[in-house]
Amino acid sequence: KSQEAYDLHSVVDGQFCMPYTAYMVMMGYPPGPGWYREENLNNDAIANFARKIKVITDPEMDRIYFETDEVSARVEVITQTGETYTKFVDIPKGDPRNQLTKTEVEEKFRTQASYVLNEEDISISIKMINDFENLDNISQLMAILAGAT
């Protein structure tokens, strides 16, 4: 069964459009709110490339998910010359069985926060969060995270 939806009218459309998401990953865009900027959602070059991507449900992987609650992924890329590249991920990064490292969590925070906070506030936030148990009052951290500094 095919899962394509190419006409993106909103952020939610982009979030649930696998061809669009695949394009963003293949082109090296860092995951985050930047994926859903108007100029990306309405970009003809992105849309045209995404239309070349076909998403097909694998009944066996669906069965495993519904029976065991295990999420796996398989990606197969077939080039114009007929070459095939396949990648299978049994346990995705971020799953409790394949956790992000502290550095990866901090990098993800930096990427996500960069859309609303400056680099100095991001660094201060990380230091405060890493020493959270020793904070006398979280008001300063909350003010930084709210962009009030």
**Who's near 41: CB < 8 A, 6+ residues apart?**
8, 10, 11, 13, 14
Neighbours of 29 (CB within 10 A): 14
Residue numbers in the chain where pLDDT is lower than 70 = 1-6
State residue 86's pLDDT score. 95
Structure token digits, residue 57: 């449900």
State residue 1's pLDDT score. 43
State residue 6's pLDDT score. 66
- What phi and psi, each to the nearest 5 degrees, are found at residue 2? -85, 150
State residue 104's pLDDT score. 96
State residue 147's pLDDT score. 84
State residue 2's pLDDT score. 47
